[in-house]
Structure 1
């Protein structure tokens, strides 16, 4: 049904289309900002496909849990850490409700375990808290979220076993 593999150069126009449809005017970042994350951590940036059609993507990279990266800032280097940050996970609207998001999250968590990350964290937006809770993510109560996110955004993490 679905295949998950590494993001490649040919995926970027579709990724930008998916990002625009997923976030409208809320969070769209430039292709340069997103590509910088991918180029720094390609092993944790994934695409989910149905045959050749790109349905969604996940951009994740190392980042310490006591902080969240700023939106719209191009990263030039990554810090040494055993924490993985899911920067963005988005699906094309036509792919929702088919289990693609679940498969993508499970793949990222598996890669994190294989690479000996201790925990994975993210900023939940657009009311996605319950989705992330289904993967045992919990809200980090004493956390600061970088500027640019909605007031309702939540910093969440899961400890890997």
Structure 2
């Protein structure tokens, strides 16, 4: 991802998510600035058609909606914060390809897990990608999960 991709990212986010979970441009720019090496886009003949934001974290730590990425010196987890694919690019395997790319990066960096928050009935997609619901959250993390204001499931997978 490059800074010039942010307008396309904003458009894809608006097309993909319910109004309750849209993050404003300042938050998106902060996510990119915090971890540019883990922010990816996919392009087709019309330009950016998908994006993924991720950062290093710890299992059991949930990023609240609009919250800053919390870097952990003892990171053991690649946290996938946001994956979205434009409608025009759906069904081409672009989302899974972006995830696989980031997971391969995580393996080379010796991270043991990946985690995310599943929203908008995406749990089946994430299950196919090897993630499972992780219900053991302490109260502050459960509160972070509730910040999504729509049904949200914290999911984790081991990296081998």
Q: When the two structures are superposed, what TM-score results if normalisation uses the length of structure 1?
A: 0.88
Stretches of 4+ aligned residues off by more than 3 angstroms:
none
2:71 paired residue number: 78
Question: How far has the Cα of 1:37 moved from its partner?
Answer: 1.8
Aligned to 1:100: 94
In structure 2, the CA distance between the partners of 1:116 and 1:29, relative to structure 1 (3 Å rule), is same
**One of 110, 113, 117 as aligned partner of 2:111:** 117
Structure 2 match to 1:156: 155
**2:51, 2:84 within 8 Å by CA — same for their partners in 1?**
yes
Mapped contact 1:59–1:87 kept (Cα < 8 A): yes
Q: Where does residue 135 of structure 2 map in the other structure?
A: 141
Q: What are structure 2's unaligned runs of at least 5 residues?
A: none
List runs of 5+ in structure 1 lacking aligned partners: 1-6
Q: Hey, which of these two has a bigger chunk of helix by percent?
A: 2
TM-fit CA distance, 1:155: 0.5
Look up the SS of the partner of 1:98 in the other structure. Answer: coil
- Secondary structure of the corresponding residue to residue 66 of structure 1: coil
64-73 or 140-149, which deviates more: 140-149
* Match of residue 49 from structure 2: 55
Deviations 1:11-56 (A, max 9, x none): 0000000000001413111111122122121111111112461011
RMSD after superposition? 1.6
**Is 1:69 aligned to 2:74, yes or no?**
no
Aligned residues: 154
TM-score, with structure 2 as normaliser = 0.89
> Aligned with 2:21: secondary structure?
coil
* Aligned counterpart in structure 1 of residue 10 of structure 2, from 16, 20, 26: 16
